[in-house]
Amino acid sequence: MRLHLQRHKCSRLFCIVLSILTLRGVATVLMLQKDTYLPATSLTVGEKTRLLRKHRGISQDEMAEIIRARRSRVSRVERGEDEYTDEQMRALRVHFNIEELPLTPRECTIFVRRLYYLRSLIKIRKMIEAEQILKEMANIGNLEPCDFDMVMLCRMFEVQFLIVNKNYADAEKKLGLYDDSLDAISLENLYHYYYNKGYLSICLGDYDNGLKLFLLAYDLMESHEGLLPENDERLYSNIALCYTYIEMPYKAIHFLLMARQIFANDMTLRANMNMERMLAQNYVNTNQLDMAQKLLDKCLIDNESIKGNDTHTGSTLFSTGFICKKKEDWASAAKYFEQAAEYFQDGTDNYYAAIYQKLSSILHTTTFSKAKQLIQEAKSVCVANELWSVYFEALGHYLVIKNRITLYNNESCDYIENIAIPKFIMLHDYFCAVDFYELLAKHYEMSKRTTKSLLAEKEILNIYRRCFANQEGEI
């Protein structure tokens, strides 16, 4: 069994390199979709103006004076038996400060189309143009008494604007205004609410909660045909990103292939490259190495053709290093990870991940004394970084045990079992946890601690049952 599972070993460190690129790439650099629209609100103009009037505490007589009409006309319009003249409508809009906001069905249709155009601008990071549109809609709240759903739809895209600008506190505050209104809002707005909450969660590093919210949005879209004027390609890629990050590769592949099938003709080369890099990562995790290599080779060529940045090149080299590890070509793996580190900024998670994987590979290719020296150097560099200090400290203990596999080492076993592995699992770095569990299992077996060896093997099986569930939850 161990030999079979060994083929699947990989690490969530792979995903550290990819996650930032994906948040800025697959989920954001897609082409504008075709012009779209949604049905306008069902309330008549008369019903809306009545709600606005009552919200302000204005009588029909006072309303008649404001728009210079008879009271009887106000009454007939509000009952749907008459209409205001253009001049009366202008006076009404000025009084309620809604000059540029929609009241009629046609105006509502045009306004919703403009809102989705705003959403497209945010998706492709045309933030100056998006900000200008938001300024033009700044008084949208004045419509809340008569068109809550329209106001909320605008707020949902404003939240997306805030998240992209990393104004997470304001985004969370605006979303919180609707936490107690979910039973009363439209399904369309509920979709955007779940999507925004999920997007905010992954931007804050909470991929578990992000996945839960994205799946709620996905269920809405799947169960209500025509819920949105267009499919939301970002939803598929973000679900895949979450599954990749928490190391459930088969589920990640499912959503990535769905995204590629549905949106292949609408993606830029850069967006497609990011998606293929994530797909390659999950192919590595499921031991589909030839497919992964073909995608990564293509990514390098595509990145060069568009003069992509160093991080894209580094992440592709990083991924290639994992293919070499799978093939137990340790020297090549160390070389690729070293090359990847050169493309990453010193002190970043990407840089430390590449150094860690380089050292992990070197453990299999050099003398223990040389490996020990390199690990000590890495520990001294990141001494102030609590997260990576654990990784490199664990690697040092890994080396101690590997060096004397038959002689039980309580200190190193205790650190790996009670500090390092729980940390890895908390971070969803399950494949890294498996690496250390397998070392412990072998160490316990060879040092005559059979019960502890079996417990370690059991933990390995539990991790693989979780990680390698397919879309239907089967192994």
Model pTM score: 0.84
Q: How far apart are CA 378 and CA 225, in angstroms?
A: 53
Inform me whether the pLDDT recorded for 135 exceeds 50: yes
Higher pLDDT residue, 384 or 163? 163
Tokens 């370690």 appear where?
456
Q: How far apart are CA 164 and CA 126, in angstroms?
A: 11
Mapped onto helix, strand or coil, the DSSP state of residue 21 is: helix
As a whole number, mean pLDDT of residues 386-414 equals 93
The mean predicted confidence, pLDDT, of the chain is 87
Q: How high is the pLDDT of residue 328?
A: 92
Run of H or E including 166: none
Instruction: Place 20 in a pLDDT band, splitting at 50, 70 and 90.
Output: very low
Q: pLDDT tens digits, residue range 67-78?
A: 999 999 999 999
Which residues are registered as beta bridge partners of 267? 30
Q: What is the DSSP code (8-state) at residue 344?
A: S
Q: pLDDT tens digits, residue range 168-194?
A: 999 999 999 999 989 989 999 999 999
Which of 253, 221, 219, 220 shows the shortest CA–CA distance to 237?
253
CA 190, distance to chain mean position in Å, is 18
Q: How high is the pLDDT of residue 184?
A: 87
Helix, strand, coil tally for the chain in percent (to 5): 70, 0, 30
Inform me whether the pLDDT recorded for 321 exceeds 70: yes
Q: How far apart are CA 93 and CA 98, in angstroms?
A: 5
Q: What is the DSSP code (8-state) at residue 30?
A: B
CATH second-level architecture of 2-16+299-467?
Answer: Alpha Horseshoe (1.25)
45-101 topology per CATH = 434 Repressor (Amino-terminal Domain) (1.10.260)
Q: How far is CA 283 from CA 211, 250, 287, 467, in A?
A: 20, 9, 6, 13
Instruction: Place 266 in a pLDDT band, splitting at 50, 70 and 90.
Output: low
Q: How far apart are CA 77 and CA 103, in angstroms?
A: 13
Q: pLDDT tens digits, residue range 209-249?
A: 999 999 999 999 989 988 887 777 789 999 999 999 999 99
Tell whether domain 107-229 is in CATH 2.60.120. Answer: no
Residues of the chain with CATH 1.10.260.40: 45-101
**Class of residue 348 by CB neighbours under 10 A (exposed 0-12, middle 13-18, buried 19+):** middle
Residues of the chain with CATH 1.25.40.10: 2-16+299-467
Q: How far apart are CA 186 and CA 184, in angstroms?
A: 7
Q: How high is the pLDDT of residue 34?
A: 34
